[in-house]
A and B are shown apart, each in its own frame.
Chain A
């Protein structure tokens, strides 16, 4: 007989491992890009322009995934582009989680006027269309990595605030919180030792999802040329350029697209996998 629970657990485990595997490879590739990358990602050479990937006729050794119309190595550019993507994911994701979760915890546990102010702010904030918001912000702050990160934080902190607030509120109503209070625990200390450990799994899941979102947002902004300077390789930028020569050199477009797709998918699968792992019913 097929045991549904163990099947669910096994596929969940597989998803977790696959996505963790891809992300680990990506991190290693990005961190060690200067040593791993076969070519200088910025070096242009018209004699090697539009070389196809290694398995096709006309491929050159050392250019595994081919070159773009300026003769730059696609694999090397993907590795360096991964750096930008991961830095944005890490910084923007963490900062968004930190800000949103802190406000959510305060609103959900302290309630009262703090909750009123924070919840109202969240409501007002969410009334703005996010992409417009981001473009407006970058228009004001100028392009660059910092702007991208700030834009992501500004748009997405509400997601954390809302979910964490609801969770903190539910935990705050539990008897063990009352017990801590009877035992003379202060509010702050109760928040940190009793509530926080119980919302940490939610925060972690949201954080992983947020990192995926950050990678997409960065790709979109670099696609429309609002991210880092045009010289630095980014996946979004590569996709934008690859689009122009899709008929002559599809690989310039397809490989960064695959990298982007796998990364975003991995982050979201990692989040889902962690959620299952934290779910006590399935454990």
Chain B
């Protein structure tokens, strides 16, 4: 324990245990000696604030303690304290401990009363040196009491919904008699959701519940707090790592992105945003999946021609590629599958194409759901909406984490080919390079210049094998090279 306090609880023979257990049957004396060897008294930190009025702070009783609850004041206001006397019992996250005074004096005022909670370091009481100073201390206490950092919570912290939902509790009184009132909707949050909300300081009243009966689930709170949902829900806000440098370089020029071990003098450290942290976490997680890559050249002259035709109708290249991929996936369901437990294939019932988008120093993958079923125009319309929502950070969880296959396109930067990292929870990801005029030879030996695009698919080899991927790519290439079917 780093704090200067020794608790009574920790007298639990931390070191003596082993020796005692056998030597005690030999020597009883040793036992008494042992308990005597442990100091019964603990020290408490009281710092000088003014000349003679000292504040008693909430001590840090363990390394993980952030706040403490006053179990009871052993002394009451006006009691004369002498050094080493127990003054107050504090409940930490681990145990109840007696806190003792380090100074002689008079307990002038109790700032935080029995049963109340104060953060570590907050004043909980005032110690005056002489009786004359008691009044002064009291005045100070009432002042600091009103401006104390966190107002003490209501006396029954155990009861009812989490703290900020107070207004919702009041109407609950009348609501209790009627089963489900239609009036002001009662906030229903699961126990863990409430805990998370408290932990991440999320106002539970502002969270939209998506659970059964509209209740707030832990995932909802996590979404509201901007943290990636816990493992069970499958994390998908990932994108190929190759796409990341571009937005980072563009959007964060001031961030000296040099991760070299000995920091170069003058470099700045910028902590990850939540989104960046999620990306980082998912990238590390992806290392546990055995992946392999297969590349394929695709001729795009006809696709380009089609694009020119449908462009005025609002169709984007992304929509075209997503549609083509979805149609190919429909014929190769294994590439749309995922391996959740390392033991089985999970064949997804719908084909949801996630498309990586660089966005303000981060990455997000809005999902085109049922991309095989929607027609090209609807798909383009949907994509436009998703991108707008993503920019406004208004994507709902299912709109970015329900992908079954990811598409990442860096062709617009002139990248000819690249390698994508497979996001955890999906079977495959396609990296699309730029389409470039290339000299090609046909089977009769004639040269011609055609637009050629290299696509490279990274897949989970636990479920998708080389031949599967090659066959899928062949289908994909056929669709792109004969794109009429895309408009059907």
Question: Bound pair: A and B?
Answer: no
Please report A residues at the B interface, Cβ cutoff 8 Å: none
